[in-house]
Chain A
Amino acid sequence: MREFTDGSSAIVRGALDAGCTFFAGYPITPASPILMQMMSELPKVDGVAVQGEDEIASIGMCIGATLAGARAMTATSGPGLSLYSENIGLAIIGEVPLVIVDVQRLGPATGGATTVGQGDVQFARWGTAGGYPIIALAPSSVSECYSLTRRAFDLAERFRCPVFLLTDKELNMTTNTVEVDEYDKPAVRARTALPSSEPPYRYLPAADVPSLAQYGGPGVVRFTGSTHDERGLITKTPAKVAQLNEHLRAKIEDNAAEIELVVKDLQAGASTLFVSYGVTAGAMREAVTRIRAAGKAVSALTLQSLWPVPEAAIGEALASVRRVVVAELNHGQYRREIERLARGAEVVGLHRVDGELIAPEAFMESVR
């Protein structure tokens, strides 16, 4: 049986099923439907949803609430993501689990408020000072909006860091058909309370992530956005600072295999590989069906995790092709990641920045 629904509703359902209990956001097209739905749904689970006075307040409230025991999500679009910037860094250094939905629209600035874009891909990765890693997932269909929201909550908990869900106006606001039985339901781990005898932070082994300490439990808990030792006290001791920062890097980069998520559709004998993500991967799938129906071979790779770069899967997909077509609704932001992994294969970009989608025909014309 099928249902007729959109990405916003799927994200809300995914969040609720993942155990989300707190939402704060500021209205912005095309992310507002998530805010409005969360306002009416969260009270049902004794949760809290607030409209903040701006995006800075919204993400700030999410961070505070998380440390007091909530599982929080916020949703915005490019202009709001810009205002999240400093607090994204705080969530990184404070090791605060948080799901950030960026429903991308055409930028820069106010840009095309009601038009589709995928221009925040590198911004999500490098959108706060310092350059530390984050995790980003990108659903390419309404049903993936559901499953990857669940996955985002799980990863946020696992790695105690901000996890981005990069969607777009088209996925969130276009109603589509979903086979109800085919919603993937990845498990979402529960929060395990940190024993009060343990300090809130731990840096060794570098790639390990201790559970989150919460306010209001049996022990006192300290969080800080300054460089700190394991007790959450400010430190400038180089050895300790190095340990902290290495931990922030290693916990994500050294565990990349656990985060990596792609859909490989590789065909023997294909010399062209399509690589895409988000809504553009939908057109790619359509093109692949048509190309193969016409008797030609082609391979395709849908990236469901964008950060950290799923290098192992990309490397494998690249191994047997001569030409890679990277399709995205920006000037080629992810193409640069593929280029550095291409090892001799020709990498070409398929771009569109006029607020319209890349059509299957554009993919079809790019096969050799």
Chain B
Amino acid sequence: MNPPTTVTALSTYRNQTPYPFCPGCGHHAILDRLNEALNDLHIDPNKVVLVSDIGCSGLSDQYFVTSAFHGLHGRSITYATGIKLQRPDLKVIVVMGDGGTGIGGAHLLNAARRNIGLTVLVFNNFNFGMTGGQHSTTTPSGAFTSTTPGGNLERPLDVCATVAANGAGYVWRGTSFDKDLSARIAEAVRSDSFALLDIWELCTAYFVPNNQASKKTLTTILDGLGLKAGLLHRAEYPEYAAAYRKATLPQRGLSLPAPRPISPVFESPLTRPFRLVVAGAAGGKVKSAARLLGEAALLSGLWAAQRDDYPITVMTGHSIAEIVLSPREIDYTAIDRPDAMILLSREGVAKVGAQLAAMRPEDRVFALPEVADVRTSAAVSVIDLARLPGSLGKGSTALYSIAWALKELGVLPIEALLAATARQGSQYAEKNAEAIRAANA
């Protein structure tokens, strides 16, 4: 997956274009420190992908000569995750504003939880610079922004504590003025874990004039919130992209799914489509019994379709299987009027009223004794469970009943159903065969 590389490090990772930010904007300093960190890392620019979020900070990638991705607001971490999963050898650095930590909060949290090896630089200026100084998830309580004219009523998000508590490997908080910022960025990029640097800085266009903020007040805010700066957290969790490859290694090269053709060895007298509905209850193995009938149809040279219906809460209520058997391709899989119906439970019967009502005298209904009182024009016969060995249990009733009905309907040979069971090769195969034989004894 990873082609061999020769490192072409640069003396600067900045291009010639001057930054576009307002005078005094903290983004300048952070990007200069990022450049120093890349220098320090002595890294091939092709091996770095700078993934920028949206906002003034989102413009950052354009001033670097590394590879870059500039996507949607709040989603930078998702693109970065995809890149890292595909190419774990690349250094993926995310630049996002405090705005991004809000709209993309779910991604931040889950990337930390996975400990995916990204370096996230949060350009935290306590407001949305680009859109006009609105409040963000990190705006301090009481702070004035264009959307909190009376002072912010919300508590700010502690980004560091959140990711640290949820699986991040490296968490640091500081300011754009900090001398060790470039060293910290380099340290974070070197670490193979999910690393986040919460970098406090000034938006000179909005947050500064609205709050008389300065380099000094950054400390006041920090103290006011009782937050700490510096390296806050280091942990050694397995990095996700590497862990994924390690965990899935045993599967490498295993054979992919291929068609599992069924050769016809039996014959069916059917000359037109035959539609059968099995109406039972959850846990009654209706689906798996119907599947065996479908495979028996293919073993008999027919085409089959099986459509299951059951509540989302799968362990309760009805379980219906609609099976179409046909001498030709099946282009319509619904059953409006069944040729035959197998009724196994009240829950099932409650769901098939319309189909029962559509049936005519030439159609057949096979019902367990407790549901044999249904109203339908079809001829109803009762399935006698007496022959079903008690040792097989309730789980065999559906298949037993299908075999019972098959014997009467003659749409395909019972041997085909037995052969389908044998093909299963599962732990149930023997029990299933016993149920089929019992119905035909």
A-side interface residues toward B, CB under 8 Å? 1-5, 9, 12-13, 16, 21-22, 24, 29, 37, 40-41, 43-46, 48, 50, 52-54, 56-57, 59-70, 72, 86-87, 90, 94, 113-114, 141, 170, 173-180, 183, 215-226, 232-234, 282-286, 356-357, 359-361
Contact = CB atoms under 8 A, between A and B. Distances in A.
B75 interface: yes
A233 B62 contact: yes
Q: Which of A66, A221, A222, A286 has the largest count of B CB atoms less than 10 A from its CB?
A: A222
A43 B291 CA distance: 28
Interface of B: 1-3, 45-47, 49, 51, 59, 61-62, 65-72, 75, 78-87, 89-90, 106-107, 109-110, 244, 248, 251-263, 291, 294-295, 297-298, 302-309, 312, 329-334, 336
Given A64-B78, A176-B305, A286-B331, A3 B260 contact: yes
A194 to B, nearest CB: 13
Nearest to A56: B75
Contacts of A174: 305-308, 333
Contact of B70 (A40, A224, A360): A224
A64 B81 contact: yes
Nearest to A9: B257
B305 A64 contact: no
A60 B75 contact: yes
Contact of A63 (B45, B79, B259): B79
A53 B69 contact: no
Contacts of B255: 44
5 contacts: A3-B259, A65-B86, A173-B307, A175-B305, A216-B2
Given A44-B256, A216-B87, A63 B82 contact: yes
A87 B333 contact: no
B334 A356 contact: yes
B251 A57 contact: no
Which secondary structure dominates where chain B touches chain A?
Answer: mixed
Q: Which of A54, A56, A219 has the largest count of B CB atoms less than 10 A from its CB?
A: A56
A215 B86 CA distance: 10
A1 B70 contact: no
B107 to A, nearest CB: 6
Contacts of A179: 329
A50 B83 CA distance: 13
B312 A65 contact: no
Given A60-B71, A232-B68, A50 B85 contact: yes
A234 B72 contact: no
Given A177-B304, A216-B90, A68 B83 contact: yes
Q: Which of B62, B71, B244, B256 has the largest count of A CB atoms less than 10 A from its CB?
A: B71
Contact of B257 (A13, A216, A217, A361): A13
B320 to A, nearest CB: 12
A284 B398 CA distance: 33
Which secondary structure dominates where chain A touches chain B?
Answer: mixed
Given A44-B253, A113-B312, A233-B62, A62 B333 contact: no
A180 B68 CA distance: 45
Contact of A69 (B86, B307, B333): B86
B102 to A, nearest CB: 14
B76 to A, nearest CB: 9
Contacts of B83: 64-65, 67-68, 215
Given A1-B262, A3-B260, A359 B332 contact: yes
B330 A176 contact: yes
Contacts of A3: 259-262, 298
Contacts of B258: 13
B359 to A, nearest CB: 16
A171 to B, nearest CB: 9
B259 A16 contact: no
A226 to B, nearest CB: 6
Given A2-B261, A46-B1, A176-B330, A53 B298 contact: no
Contacts of B259: 3, 5, 13, 178, 180, 183
Contacts of A233: 62
B261 A177 contact: no
Instruction: List 10 tightest A-B contacts by C-beta distance, closest first.
Output: A64-B82, A60-B78, A43-B248, A1-B261, A64-B79, A61-B82, A65-B82, A68-B86, A282-B331, A177-B303
A223 B49 CA distance: 10
Contact of B308 (A37, A90, A94, A173): A173
Nearest to B64: A220
Contact of A357 (B84, B262, B332): B332
A48 B90 CA distance: 16
A222 B261 contact: no
A82 to B, nearest CB: 15
Nearest to A48: B85
Given A4-B306, A224-B68, A359-B334, 14 more contacts: A3-B261, A4-B262, A21-B86, A60-B75, A61-B78, A64-B78, A70-B82, A87-B75, A170-B307, A175-B307, A176-B330, A177-B330, A216-B90, A220-B68
